[in-house]
Amino acid sequence: MPSLLPATAQPLTQISIGEASVGSSYTSVGTFTSWLEIMIIVSTLDAAVQLSFDGVNAHIAIPAGNSEPVIFNIDFKSNLLTMPLTSVYVKRIGTPSAGSLYISGFSSSLQ
């Protein structure tokens, strides 16, 4: 039976990085294999970090997670957009000594 929706959500493999790998210059967190319609960023790092989508320019500052994880949900789909994202990079603002940064995403495929 065909779906009434034109597309289905496809989870993409999560990318992550631990505190020990976050340095003073941009380090690759990982690469997504498809365009993103929704991106979820969860930080349990105990210091603020800067995200970049080109490895050169600062795009999103993520505050320290400390005792509660910091969660960002960026919904491109609501604005009829997708993000042609290939890689995500991170560098420290503070110096994390504990925690990790997790980035998940969803794309869609036509049925």
High-pLDDT (> 70) share of the chain, %: 87
Structural domain range at position 83: 9-110
CA distance 107 to 1: 22
In order, the DSSP letters of 12-41 are EEEEEEEGGG--SS-EEEEE-SS-BSEEEE
- Domain tally, the chain: 1
Taking 50 as the pLDDT cut, the residues of the chain under it are 1, 111
Q: Tell me, what CATH number does 62's domain have?
A: 2.60.120.1380
- CA 30 from centroid of its chain's CA atoms: 9
Q: Output the pTM of the full model.
A: 0.84
